[in-house]
Amino acid sequence: MLLYHESEEVVKNSEIRKTNRNPNENSTKQGHEPMKKIKECGEISDEKTLQCNQNIALAAELGQLCENLNKQIAELERLRENLNKQIADIYNSKTWKIGYKIARIFGLPVRIFRFAKNYGVKNTFRKIRCYRKRLEPDIKHSYASAKMFSEENCNISFDSGLKVISASRKGTCQSKLDKKIAVHVHIFYTELIDEIISNINFIPYDFDCYISTDTAAKARSIKRIFKEKCLAKKMFIKVYKNIGRDVAPFIFQMKKVLNEYDYICHIHSKKSETVEFGDYWRKYLYRHLLGSRAYLEHLFDEFEKQDDLGIIYPFRYPLMKPFVDWGGNEEICSMLLRRMGINMELSSQAVFPAGNMFWAKTKAIKNIFELGLDIFEFPLEQGQVELTLAHAIERIWVYLARANGFEHKCLFNNIYTSTTKSDAKRLVLYAHFNEKNQLSEHDLKSIMEIKMFADNIVFISNSKLGEEEHEALKPYVNRVFERDNTGFDFSAWKYAIDTIGYSEIENYDELVLINNSFFPPLYNLNAMFNEMDKEKNNDFWGITLFPGLPDGSYLNIESIPAHIQTYFMVFKNQVFTSKCFKEFWDSVKEYIELNDVIKNCEIKLTSFLSKKGFTYSAYVKESELLCERLGNHAAPYQSPVEFLLCGCPTIKKKCYLHIDEEQRKLLVHFENVGDE
């Protein structure tokens, strides 16, 4: 219909133009030409009307097609569920269990032959010895069989390779080590020297330090500072041209001495100035590669108790997730491996230490140092982001180790050493709701963890708790309030503030508002408070920050400003003793809809206080960037693992309603975050 109206407009415009023609023109022309034009425009109108009708018919057909496809998808989903049930029944049957054991017995020689063909007899016997130690516990879950199958096809890892190292980790750690350790450090940015030294000084064993840089002036400065501050037994400094990034100096400096050591660590002064999160990425790599003495004892314990573990590096940095791929370097990597006599089919997904920092057993990666690379094979530095020899070498470490019969592992450092409670006196208002009127194990564990940093806990429940729940709370909380389930968490906090009174609240240094929408923390939260205490200019803070959205239509507002997510907020005394703080809480109403609470309370609190001159920040500095880089403002719910990797101490309980299978499998590695 729109096209028809446009055609009518063409006719009107045509008539107006004809009316304004020169009056001296032939009257016959004046009479017939406009009619001719009107007729032509009428034909155009008819054609466009026909086209419009055809489009409407086509849209109807497409709608019917979509409806049919949805029905087919629903039917396929039903079939999938039935097949999964049948498969589960088969796995649980006695016939399968007996047949599987028989298949394992007769299938093992075939798997061994295939492995020997790919990796050689020597590496095969090493692999058999390692699997003999670990095979028995894996039979129940068929893991060893599946892992061997993946190796036959030259895939690097059957699982994520992620292992979380926590302070509560059971087992021994490697307090003594009779092995030789070398650390190679490439320093281009000398302003990072102190940060580097403080991290390598965590190494709890004797080590030698090899340092490369690109100018003699830098070398003199590095030598002076390292001699004064570094705990290395021996230090060697060498200058190389700024070619091949950190990779070329690493290979050329270590190639003659690598065999003198059992373990090698490689790090560099990474800034990654092409991205806005370069400093965060470097700190992440240092923390999960070095981090603390306690963590490194556990790291070496992993090496020492697993003979075929050849390389350890940090799990991929969350903000780099979209970029951890081959980057077009597959062919260069394959050629490089073939030069070392390694014919290996590369996996479709690149597996490598992104950022090129790792620990390794020297015999797992020695080939590249023995290859005889020449400095002229590395291109001149021009700020390249891919497709250089250095980028290819960064991607072959795991494959190189695999060719020598070794595995890789990604470790996550969940050990926090600064866990002593500060002198700050804290009042916690904990808002609770449970639709079954219960106190869950997760919530009780959270309260126990909160007790470690709180001086006074007030528990406000929007549920009717029983006597058993009250008894469970007694050792940890100072007061329990129960109220009707109205107004959600903000009304619960308002009720507690009004009941306690500002005269008592103002005696504390910090007021902490918490709800029970998250899992118990992964580590002692005193570490988080101690870190945030270093930020002297913060008046209030939270764990995560929600980024601003230009479109706030789903909340019936024009836009959504960036704001602290209110499941965990900390206010300092100068905030909660101010008139504007009281003004805000006086304005809080008992809203019926959750979106009204989000719109009128959660979103407004940060901007309201900010406009009054108070400053704020988030503990997880990458929280805003994570949403932007992953292209998903629901990332805390759909990508919770990325937040944990960035140091977030907890995740939201509702994330299990939104996560995919990859996220679900990775969450298994973290304590306290199992689905309720």
Query: Are residues 302 and 449 both part of a single domain?
Result: no
User: Could you give the angle at the alpha carbon of 387 between the alpha carbons of 384 and 393, nearest 5°?
Assistant: 105
Query: Are residues 441 and 388 both part of a single domain?
Result: no
Domain that holds residue 532: 426-621
Q: Which helix (H) or strand (E) holds 302?
A: helix 293-305
The residue among 359, 391, 414 that closes a domain is 414
Query: Are residues 361 and 496 both part of a single domain?
Result: no
In a domain, 304, yes or no: yes
- 3-state class of 363 per DSSP? helix
Query: Are residues 449 and 544 both part of a single domain?
Result: yes
In a domain, 261, yes or no: yes
Query: Are residues 293 and 233 both part of a single domain?
Result: yes
Determine the pLDDT at residue 351: 92
- Asked if residue 460 lies in contact with residue 447, where contact means CB atoms within 8 angstroms, the answer is no
Determine the pLDDT at residue 547: 87
Query: Are residues 291 and 386 both part of a single domain?
Result: yes
Determine the pLDDT at residue 124: 53
In a domain, 651, yes or no: no
Query: Are residues 261 and 217 both part of a single domain?
Result: yes
Determine the pLDDT at residue 495: 97
Determine the pLDDT at residue 344: 87
Considering its fold, how many domains does the chain have in total? Answer: 4
> Helix, strand, coil % (nearest 5) of the chain?
50, 15, 35
| Cα gap 668→412, rounded to integer Å | 13
In a domain, 344, yes or no: yes
Query: Are residues 337 and 197 both part of a single domain?
Result: yes
Contacts of 143 (CB under 8 A, 6+ apart): 158
CATH of the domain at 524: 3.90.550
The residue among 414, 437, 472 that closes a domain is 414
Query: Are residues 407 and 434 both part of a single domain?
Result: no
In a domain, 577, yes or no: yes
Query: Are residues 168 and 130 both part of a single domain?
Result: no
- Residue 672 token pair: 């306290």
- Residue 618 token pair: 């988030």
- Residue 216 token pair: 């003699």
In a domain, 265, yes or no: yes
Residues of the chain with pLDDT under 50: 1-41, 100, 103-104, 107-108, 110-111, 114-115, 117-119, 122, 126-127, 129-159
Query: Are residues 459 and 505 both part of a single domain?
Result: yes
Closest CA to 363 of 406, 394, 300, 426: 406
Task: Please state the separation of Cα 658 from the chain's center in Å.
Answer: 16
Using one digit for the tens of pLDDT, what is the confidence trace for 585-623? 999 999 999 999 999 999 999 999 999 999 999 999 999
Can you list the alpha helix ranges (DSSP code H) found in 160-292?
A: 193-200, 216-229, 247-254, 278-289
Query: Are residues 140 and 212 both part of a single domain?
Result: no
